Structure 1
Amino acid sequence: MAKALLGHVGGPDPRMVSELRRLQQRIRDLEAELTRLQAQNDALTAQAREDALVRLEDREPALT
């Protein structure tokens, strides 16, 4: 019983620490990717709005 308790309170398992660090790095990578994609989406949305305005300005008036 003493060995089990000593092993349990002896400190974190190195494999778990390694896995935790790997997962934290993956989260940072995914957050960076999300930020990049949001910026790209914002730029594309702005360009689409600009293109739509240009198309509206280029229309010929309807015959009256």
Structure 2
Amino acid sequence: MAKALVGYIGGPTADQARQTAVLRRRVADLEAEVMRLKVENDGLLVALRERMDQVTASDLAEPVAH
């Protein structure tokens, strides 16, 4: 029944197999990019926390030079 819903009987064509491989590779690339961004974000959060620990009330009262 599932094969009838997909619209073919006998398995995927060579083109469908290539498309599936391309899509699987793209998903893997995107998952790797998400992981890289998570690691980068975690590092930025650590740096921000360290910086926030160094900020004093007088630092907040000083005007920022542009």
Both proteins in one fold, TM over 0.5: yes
Q: Among the aligned pairs, what percent are the same residue? A: 33
Higher relative contact order (CA 8 A, sep 6+): 2
**Matched residue type, 1:22:** V
Q: How far apart, in 1, do the equivalents of 2:55 and 2:29 lie? A: 39
**Partner of 1:40 in structure 2?**
40
Matched length: 52
**Matched residue type, 2:39:** A
**Partner of 1:18 in structure 2?**
18
CA RMSD of the aligned region, Å?
Answer: 2.0
Q: How far apart, in 2, do the equivalents of 1:38 and 1:25 lie? A: 20
With normalisation by structure 1, the TM-score equals 0.70
With normalisation by structure 2, the TM-score equals 0.68
Residue 55 of structure 1 deviates from its aligned partner by 1.1
Unaligned runs of 5+ in 2: 1-7, 60-66
SS at match of 2:55: helix
Residue 24 of structure 1 deviates from its aligned partner by 0.1
**Partner of 1:5 in structure 2?**
none
Unaligned runs of 5+ in 1: 1-7, 60-64
